[in-house]
C-alpha cells in the first residue's frame, strides 16, 4: 500500500513538471502575437 501511494505521488509530480515545461501550442503563440499587436496599436 505504501509503495502504491509513493508511486502515484511520483507519477503525479512528474506529470506536473513535464506539463509546466511544455512548449506553448500554436494557438497560444498566435494569441500572444495578437495581444502584442493590439498593444502596439494602442500605444
pLDDT of residue 24: 63
Compute the average pLDDT of residues 4-18.
Answer: 83
Give the residue from 8, 4, 10, 25 showing the smallest Cα distance to 33: 25
Query: What is the pTM assigned to this prediction?
Result: 0.44
Phi, psi of 37 (to 5 degrees): -65, -40
pLDDT of residue 22: 59
Q: Which residues of 18-36 are buried (b: 16+ CB within 10 A; e: fewer)?
A: eeeeeeeeeeeeeeeeeee
- State pLDDT tens for residues 19-43: 765 566 677 777 778 888 877 777 6
Amino acid at each position: 500500500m505504501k509503495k502504491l501511494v509513493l508511486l502515484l505521488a511520483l507519477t503525479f509530480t512528474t506529470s506536473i513538471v513535464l506539463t509546466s515545461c511544455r512548449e506553448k501550442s500554436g494557438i497560444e503563440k498566435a494569441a500572444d502575437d495578437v495581444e502584442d499587436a493590439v498593444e502596439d496599436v494602442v500605444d
